[in-house]
Structure 1
């Protein structure tokens, strides 16, 4: 068991339990830290600024019934390689809820809207060659090179924000077409000889990524994960992880406790927080801050060194916006769509269909729009009503059924970039400011008795895995009371060992 490993390591280093820790934030990082610290015998209290727990894990249910259709406004999938996340799924008794998440480009009956031309994924090779102009029809390059490049552009256009889409176009025009022409691309086409296996290509050709712009090179990691066929989800909603953690934690979790100031001293940390309009000050032995830096930098901060302040100021958060429709029926199933996603084009980008079934009487749900970057920012500036109408209009060009009377029963959305308690969808390492991969180490670096955790402090930004990993690093740092990151790194390497995970 994971906690057994922690206890064993505490005993080996003559560590004594019984410390008092205040955790700021009741997202997955704060809850995992509280869960483990409690089991190690420490006293924990969690302060959450918002009225709800869960952070960016947010399952919206269209109805109070257990069978009501649901949409994930936050985290919605788990890569099968994310063993920390899967450990807690198992630890919390949710393994039987794991099922496949069907992702973008996986459903051949899903649609692509390319400059107003709407066609099914399975027809893409023929249509792409007809629609794309310029370099994609340049006869100096082989038909195989042109088709491969067209697929690459379509995949990047579907998933990435505008600046990276533009970056790929520039790279293709300047040198990447020549690079593709030089390579033997035949092994990377699927059995139909028309679609491509991007996962295999990138794995076998690291030099190709190196010839892309630095930001695009780093974003390929996200593209590979999002297009993987090994993604999982929790039937019944991702929020079940949060619910089970909350149920397992005995310590108080206090919502509506907005932290407005943090003052660091060598032996303790002071926090100011607001409750019911009144400001209070608390002196804490240890504080674990899981608040996103996009929110933290708006507070009064004292006693932080300049490097830390720079990290808090410069960590870039990418906006993300999701719009979900509760529909009268799963009309897309009549077109052979069992899940996956369509590329709905314009500012809507990805439209996901559920790969789990809901009770027919309750209708169904489509994640009508999932955007990041500039598209998300534009949509986030709209009123909720205008945002829903806009998405309905754009996706309605792909699915005219949406325009029929009473097809959309209800709509909901969230613009994470405007959400007070996150001020962004996730931290990213591919932005120009945050392109240095050592930034997450600086984000995680402690300030005396103030420690940090969250996806922004990890190698896996935007994923539950990152939040959990950083929380476990902070837990070991607290119980061992070490100042050096190498101790936390040693702990993480131990818990990543397969034998430890299998023993859980």
Structure 2
């Protein structure tokens, strides 16, 4: 459903008296919901546990908080098909800030580090063939089949977690090479025969995905999005979307309100939270909870049914870690690299170069490491100083310039798996067994992407839920926005015996 239809659906369903909705979480899902509920004539207040708004949209600015060099510790790109997000970019007057995001494999001069050997990204697959050998040099398969498989491994190695890399290796060794052997791969190589067009290949052979392990099959959707050549970013920082939303909301948005309990009753929801060392409790008519389940499962919950509690506790989350380096100059441009990303088989994995320039100086911010899964967990276990030192050493294998005195001016990082207010990078739409289930038995996998988000989003009386974990598109802003609008619809169309004129009660329980 396109967004205009969805908004009209909400408007048509809005036949109830004005409601007061308390929203837990000031990330994009919570703020979108607040914005649209107010437009429909309802009252909102937003409670945020952390000292900042934005959730996993987090633009870090070095120096000048307004015009200083910046990098994204959280969301950094918008696919063109994510029309819900782009709708709000335009609605909030940010359309003129949209700029192309040069992504992984788009800049062929970017670098690859394979076991200490550094080469251009376009030459990586042949080196992978010789380095890993096995099926990649098995002469039962044609050179094109082996090279195509090596490219597929290069792509998954660069973008996927360690678990997904293992999935692909098992699939290649057990049956995928034989599947590739049956297909005409020539149309998907470039004129030089070096690189492949994975998007065209999947479009031509959609059934190939069903030959992959379940988790890899699902993750191919993210790979296709992340390697698209028409991604967008917001020049000046993604947090402009958050601050523009907040400015457009009339109701209060309060930070440092740490929710510690939710109790669902027939006629409302009781919230307990800590603020400035004091415990408060309030009975609310309607509550929209956008708190990640990775955090929600740590607080006191009562009045929820067993199926809902099982969903909250069983949804799988992945860690993610990002490290930003402020550099005195964009030295990578001296190697012909203008945007895009390099990658390394060290734990730093993806290294993204800025596609836009800072207005204030020659200083440039490098996303020196972007990791998910096991790699992110490994970096997250380090102290910040250890993490920065590790990334600097690993990055120097690709860019020795980083060790030249005066080149590296500042550093910062976020290990989302350790961050109190998310306890994860994002949810993932599969059960752990999906990593190991063979394709012929994939129907036996429980809790797949087709149903998990419906269970996550299901309300409990007047307690509603939204966030990327409640959507078909986990980890993406689009999923958060879609789930927020569905929650808005569910709230405004909800019939309740709650007195619409009753004010939320506030009780100070403990000092």
User: TM-score normalized by structure 1?
Assistant: 0.93
Residues 465 and 3 from structure 1, CA distance in 2 versus in 1: closer, same or farther, beyond 3 angstroms?
closer
Aligned to 2:47: 47
Aligned to 2:251: 251
Structure 1 unmatched runs, 5+: 484-504
Which deviations, in whole Å up to 9, do the C-alpha atoms of 1:107-150 show, x marking residues without a partner?
Answer: 01100111111001233354344433111111111000010000
Residues 28 and 7 from structure 1, CA distance in 2 versus in 1: closer, same or farther, beyond 3 angstroms?
closer
Runs of 4 or more off by more than 4 Å in structure 1?
A: 2-14
What SS does the corresponding residue of 1:184 show, helix, strand or coil? coil
The alpha carbon displacement at 1:12 in A equals 4.8
Aligned to 1:466: 479
Is contact 2:159-2:350 (8 Å) kept? yes
Whole-Å separation in 1 of the counterparts to 2:109 and 2:370: 19
Whole-Å separation in 2 of the counterparts to 1:129 and 1:391: 27
Residues 482 and 201 from structure 1, CA distance in 2 versus in 1: closer, same or farther, beyond 3 angstroms?
farther
Within 5 A, what are the aligned runs for 1:335-484?
335-359=335-359, 361-432=361-432, 435-481=448-494
What SS does the corresponding residue of 1:140 show, helix, strand or coil? coil
1:231 and 2:244 are equivalent in the alignment: no
Residues 173 and 49 from structure 1, CA distance in 2 versus in 1: closer, same or farther, beyond 3 angstroms?
same
1:199 and 2:199 are equivalent in the alignment: yes
What SS does the corresponding residue of 1:29 show, helix, strand or coil? helix
Structure 2 unmatched runs, 5+: 434-446, 497-511
User: TM-score normalized by structure 2?
Assistant: 0.91
Residues 12 and 340 from structure 1, CA distance in 2 versus in 1: closer, same or farther, beyond 3 angstroms?
closer
The alpha carbon displacement at 1:269 in A equals 0.7
Aligned to 1:313: 313
TM-align CA RMSD: 1.8
Aligned to 1:110: 110
Whole-Å separation in 1 of the counterparts to 2:287 and 2:25: 11
Whole-Å separation in 2 of the counterparts to 1:361 and 1:95: 24
Residues 13 and 49 from structure 1, CA distance in 2 versus in 1: closer, same or farther, beyond 3 angstroms?
closer
Is contact 1:349-1:371 (8 Å) kept? yes
Is contact 2:124-2:154 (8 Å) kept? no
Which deviations, in whole Å up to 9, do the C-alpha atoms of 1:79-123 show, x marking residues without a partner?
Answer: 000000000000000000001101001101100111111001233
Which deviations, in whole Å up to 9, do the C-alpha atoms of 1:389-436 show, x marking residues without a partner?
Answer: 000000110000001112110000000000000000001114426534
Which deviations, in whole Å up to 9, do the C-alpha atoms of 1:308-364 show, x marking residues without a partner?
Answer: 000000011100000010001000011111100001221010000001012473410
What SS does the corresponding residue of 2:338 show, helix, strand or coil? coil
Which deviations, in whole Å up to 9, do the C-alpha atoms of 1:55-78 show, x marking residues without a partner?
Answer: 000000011153311110000000
Whole-Å separation in 1 of the counterparts to 2:378 and 2:40: 46
